[in-house]
Amino acid sequence: MKINQLKQEVYRLTFTKNTQQLKSNRAELTTGKDLRCKNSWLSIYSTFKLVDDFQQSLVAQDAIAKHGFKLLNSDSSFADLLNNVGSLGSFCDSLESDINLLEKKYGEK
Amino acid sequence: MSSEKTKVSDVADDLKQIYGINKNISNSLSKEQKKELLMLLENNETILNLTRSFVTKNHELAKNNRKFGKQRETAKRNLADEQGKNSELNNQVSQLKYELKELKHQLINVLDSFHEMLTRDVLKRSEIILFVEKLRDSFKP
């Protein structure tokens, strides 16, 4: 990946728009790094990806535990399939409720 | 020596008490200059008025400094609060992003399994209808 692509990926993943904002919002990723070098960006990207993948796996485990998803494969029954459809609804409701809470907390007053 | 020091200190005290000239300002003058200044203030109205004007201005500046100092401290506290909120909001948005990704992932799993059951022709017509109804109901507001 070229340095500019790496930068764009880092901005996207960290919800930042530019290097200045990245330095200010995510100092833990940039401290001590020379941001003129591609290797620094590669290191930031790799670190972030590692953390991101780990958090993603935690969310997946949490969703399975909270909403009761079952692992589906070619031996799964129709009842298992319907169970997961129900879990989708519960997951979706929970997501909507989290968004509403966030909007209430940080929305315009 | 001690008596000389007391005398100089007395002049500085007079400058402070009578004319409001702080010691941290009169300290930059020598003993002789302090005495000379005291004499000038006693005898020269122009010097007296100029000094009063400096003293008044100095008080104003000190007052402004205190005010701006307080404002700067408040601004620093507000900035820290905002940064804290911003960081918390970013974390919560990240969490929602992960949850949405996982929801999509689970939806694809469900559709893949349904597709696989359809291609194996193991579903009855009533089951297909039930599946579609349940899926639709899951996403109803």
Contact status of B91 with chain A (Cβ, < 8 Å)? no
Contact status of A18 with chain B (Cβ, < 8 Å)? no
**Residue A72 and residue B130: Cβ atoms within 8 Å?**
no
What per-residue confidence (pLDDT) applies to B8?
A: 59
pLDDT exceeds 70 at position A56:
yes
Among B98, A22, B90, residue whose Cα is nearest residue A6: A22
What per-residue confidence (pLDDT) applies to A108?
A: 61
Chain B residues in contact with A77 by the CB 8 A cut-off are none
What per-residue confidence (pLDDT) applies to B4?
A: 53
Nearest CA distance, B77 vs chain A (angstrom): 17
Among A1, A11, A17, A6, residue whose Cα is nearest residue A40: A6
Long-range contacts of A66-70 (CB under 8 A, 24+ apart): A66/A90, A66/A91, A66/A94, A67/A91, A67/A94, A69/B106
What per-residue confidence (pLDDT) applies to B1?
A: 46
- Among B87, B89, B131, beta carbon nearest to A85: B131
Type of residue found at A64: I
- Measure the CA–CA gap between A65 and A52, rounded to whole angstroms: 20
Contact status of A25 with chain B (Cβ, < 8 Å)? yes
Contact status of A95 with chain B (Cβ, < 8 Å)? yes
Interval A27-50: pLDDT, tens: 888 999 999 999 999 999 998 888
**Residue A89 and residue B101: Cβ atoms within 8 Å?**
no
What per-residue confidence (pLDDT) applies to B17?
A: 93
Would you give per-residue pLDDT tens digits along chain B (141 residues)? 445 555 556 899 999 999 999 998 999 999 999 999 999 999 999 999 999 999 999 999 999 999 999 999 999 999 888 888 888 888 888 889 899 999 999 999 999 999 999 999 999 999 999 999 999 999 887
Q: Which residue is it, tokens 């909403």? A: A67
DSSP label at residue A17: S
Contact status of B139 with chain A (Cβ, < 8 Å)? yes
Contact status of B63 with chain A (Cβ, < 8 Å)? no
Task: Determine contact, residues A57/A19, Cβ cutoff 8 Å.
Answer: no
What mean pLDDT is predicted for residues A49-60?
A: 89
